[in-house]
Amino acid sequence: MVQTFVQSTDDVVKFLKDQHNLIKDMFEEVFSASSDDARRKAFTELRQLLAVHETAEEMVVHPRVRNEVEGGDIIVDARLIEEHDAKEQLSALEAMDISSKEFLDELTLFRGAVIDHAEREEVEEFSKLQRELDADDLGRMAKAVMAAEAIAPTRPHAGVESAKLNFAVGPFASMLDRARDAIKSAIA
Ligand SMILES: [Fe+2]
Ligand SMILES: [Fe+2]
């Protein structure tokens, strides 16, 4: 399980905003790392946090915005494109030489995109969910986000941005596969 470093809370918006701030701090750690090893470690942690954070948003937050917020489909479709692009950028970064200038240049662009994406979520999704949903509902969402993050893949999977596809090929599918395998071997 990835350590998501943010204190659990029963407010989904606070949880995700805290994670956005943590993601910004982790970018700084990658940039300011004093050795290649330290940079690689910081980048791996950033990549893992981004992967589980975005999966949880795709499973829990965006579907709710589609249902509750006026114009939700347009808002969410734009976020999913950004998340798809981010996963591709992340995979590209992973393949680069971490000590190269190319890596740092690409990371600078990527950080800008991630921060813009997070700000749009906070303004266009989180604040509207806060307005539309009561505390119980936001609490249930917080639990669902934390549960999704606990089992989400720690590598980015571009192309599975919808809840349905995450269920089909994401962590939930592999858990189902494992359960099926365990049952098969138990009754063989
Ligand atoms: Fe996101
Ligand atoms: Fe986010």
Q: Which pTM was predicted?
A: 0.85
59, 144 in Cβ contact below 8 A? yes
Please name which ligand lies nearest the alpha carbon of 81. Answer: 1
Using the mean position of ligand 1's atoms as its centre, give its distance from the Cα of residue 186 in Å: 40
- Say if residue 65's pLDDT is above 90: yes
Distance 55 CA to ligand 2 centre (A): 9
Provide CB contacts within 8 A for 94, sequence distance 6+.
Answer: 47
Six token digits for residue 43: 């980048």
Helix (H) or strand (E) segment spanning residue 107 = helix 101-120
73 CA → ligand 2 middle, Å? 17
* pLDDT tens column, 31-60: 999 999 999 999 999 999 998 999 899 989
CB 38 within 8 A of CB 127: no
- Whether the per-residue pLDDT at 64 is higher than 80: the answer is yes
Average pLDDT, the chain: 87
Q: Do residues 56 and 149 touch, judged by C-beta distance below 8 A?
A: yes
Q: What is the largest CA-CA distance in the chain?
A: 55
